[in-house]
Amino acid sequence: MELAVEMPDGWRPLFAEALSAAAEVVAAIGALREFVPWPDNPAYAGLLPDPVPAAAQVAAWPADPASPFARLHTAINAIAPAACWRQTYRQDEVGADFLARYGYFELIGPTGHFHDETMRAYVAYWGAGLNYDWHLHEAEEAYFVIAGSAQFMARGQQDVVLSAGGWRIHASNEPHAMITYDQPVLTLVLWRGNGLDAESRLGAA
């Protein structure tokens, strides 16, 4: 007998709140607003939960109520247990500790919680003290820090430590890397352009 598994409807308003909160942040930050048009009313895809260890870490990381991005952070806390988390990389590439404290999910996109074929918006998290090695992808990318802090490195750009409200753009196939120090980092990541369907791969060229 086949079991029909369906996403409980109770999660839907929580995902809708996260979508709305993300849209509010993108509208407020010029670099993000200009990076890619935000889709109008993308359809809710009802993806099933696929937790990784980081899901519980994200759920348990409370927003700073004084942060201008507290609404989005709180909305992400709420959907973290029900998100379809991904990791892209294997343990032999990044190690067990990395996979125990890292993960991302696609809020909007071709395979996201909300469906859109023109862009991708990911929520991505790294715990403190992680080294995200050099990697690249064809799609252009805008990183925005919702909470915490990390050092961002990219070929041809100065290293920069970004905290809440900070952003950085990576060109197509521009190698980049990231290090977290004493804090975790929670980010909103936008993709546009060619290669939207391709995954990131490790390497510097």
Binding site for Zn ion (CB under 5 A): 141
Residue 191 Cβ vs Zn ion, minimum distance, rounded to whole Å? 8
Name the residue nearer to Zn ion (CB basis): 67 or 172: 172
Residues with Cβ within 8 Å of residue 125, at least 6 apart in sequence: 54, 57, 58, 102, 103, 104, 184, 185, 186, 187
Name the residue nearer to Zn ion (CB basis): 21 or 136: 136
Name the residue nearer to Zn ion (CB basis): 100 or 189: 189
**Structure token digits, residue 104:** 């991302």
Residue 170 Cβ vs Zn ion, minimum distance, rounded to whole Å? 5
Name the residue nearer to Zn ion (CB basis): 116 or 141: 141
Name the residue nearer to Zn ion (CB basis): 67 or 149: 149
CB 51 within 8 A of CB 86: no
Q: What value does the CA radius of gyration of the chain take, rounded to a whole number of Å?
A: 16
H or E element that contains 17: helix 12-28
**One-letter amino acid for residue 39 of the chain:** P
Residue 151 Cβ vs Zn ion, minimum distance, rounded to whole Å? 15
> How many Cβ atoms are within 10 Å of 153's Cβ, its own excluded?
17
Query: Nearest 5°: phi and psi at 151?
Result: -95, 125
Residue whose beta carbon is closest to Zn ion: 141
Residue 178 Cβ vs Zn ion, minimum distance, rounded to whole Å? 9
Q: How far is CA 67 from the centre of its chain?
A: 18
Residue 139 Cβ vs Zn ion, minimum distance, rounded to whole Å? 8
